[in-house]
Chain A
Amino acid sequence: MKPLYLVIGALLIAVAWHVARDERHPRRWASGAFWALLALLFVGGDALGPHAAGAIAVALAALAGAGRVVRGPAREEPAAQRAESAARLGHRLFGPALAIPAATVLLVLALKRATWDGRPLLEPQIQTLWALALACLLAGGLALRLTRRGPADGVHAARDLLEAIGWAGVLPLMLAALGAVFAAAGVGDLLARGVSAVIPVQSAFACVAAYAVGMALFTMLMGNAFAAFPVMTAGVGLPLLVRLHGADPASMVAIGMLSGYCGTLLTPMAANFNIVPAALLELKDPHAVIRAQAPTGIVLLAVNVMLMYVIVFR
């Protein structure tokens, strides 16, 4: 992953540089420092070590918390010019945009087969990430050729979009770090004990509801169903449903995990799915995506409780 992090870091450095030099930017030094510190995590994170990375995380949070990370003046091209260019380039504009997904798929398939010295060239977990990154570089080249622009235009365009997203783009990273602290502090075990202490364990339906709804609530708190799963399954699912009531484990965990995903639809803690898109679409309400998802998430959770009750005791 190291080379990819260097590319991301280089892009972030360029963004920080342009922000800091922009005299019309209301907070050019603080905002520039924010992107520069983030770049440092990618370029020098491994060399600096976890201590320094933790300190950088605190500095990023302080800058954002003080309201110093704001958007500079966007330099979009005038609407008339964009319309003219859209008419001239037509459907060819879709080419580079669709090249990202298309090339990602082809590269995933190619990287699966690629071996070096009898071993896979890349480990399976990171093949897709590499494929996506390489597809972006390829599509970037196509886009620049099609629009007859230079790499500097790419940096400027990226800067406008990144500043529109702002600190929200870093939130997923910090939430993942918070998850690590929660795990080390045993927060999950504490919550699972609380759940099993308050439900009537003799009722199979109450146990099903506690497991499914507990997965959703836990996921809302932790922001991640994967973090909630081992805790809830070890604390409620296995002892109460499988051992006490004889539930089928395979279907129980499958529907349990998906109940967690219903929680993901409902929480600002799942920032990369719920908060970043709202920023990316430049919505006024940061919780607009959660509001739109809430009816689906809540109804689906109720359906999951029913499905689990019917399926695991079949």
Chain B
Amino acid sequence: MGAHPTPSDFEARTNATYDALMWALSRPGLPRDLPSAGQSGIIETLIDRECAVYCEDPAMAEIAARTGAAMAPPEDADHLFLSQPPARLAGLRQGSDMYPEGGATLVIPTRFGSGRHLGLTGPGVGGQVLCRLPDIPHSFWADRARVMRYPMGFEIFLIDGAQVIGIPRTTVVEVL
């Protein structure tokens, strides 16, 4: 076989980041390793000028703005890079029954691995997966269940350093 193109650092990073995000969402509750810590890797993997982005952290907003994405308030954004779990979930974009893909994607930094167990069930979970997310208030999961009506909804990526957990809209989260 002849010469093939070699991946640039950017390509290798975004490819690995997407692989982690895809598997995180396919297997809810199971942490995956990102190539780098923090939200900036996810921004360069997913965001470009076709996106409307909301960033709480001004440093992230600058990185997102460099991709050409439009800055939008939380209720209009399709990707939200937050600093903590949002207090109000009802206003977030959830798509429509005809176009469920219009739902938002939330990226929230948090900590994994202590506090009460959460029981996750739904597609991607064989049986039940337990995970522990101490910094997410229990009312968040109750609100999430209350405001979403499948197939409308939003996706959540929780990141702790260079690890990511995905919670798609299909996952039922139970505080045990």
**Is chain B a partner of chain A in the same complex?**
no
Using a CB–CB cutoff of 8 Å, the interface residues on chain B facing chain A are: none
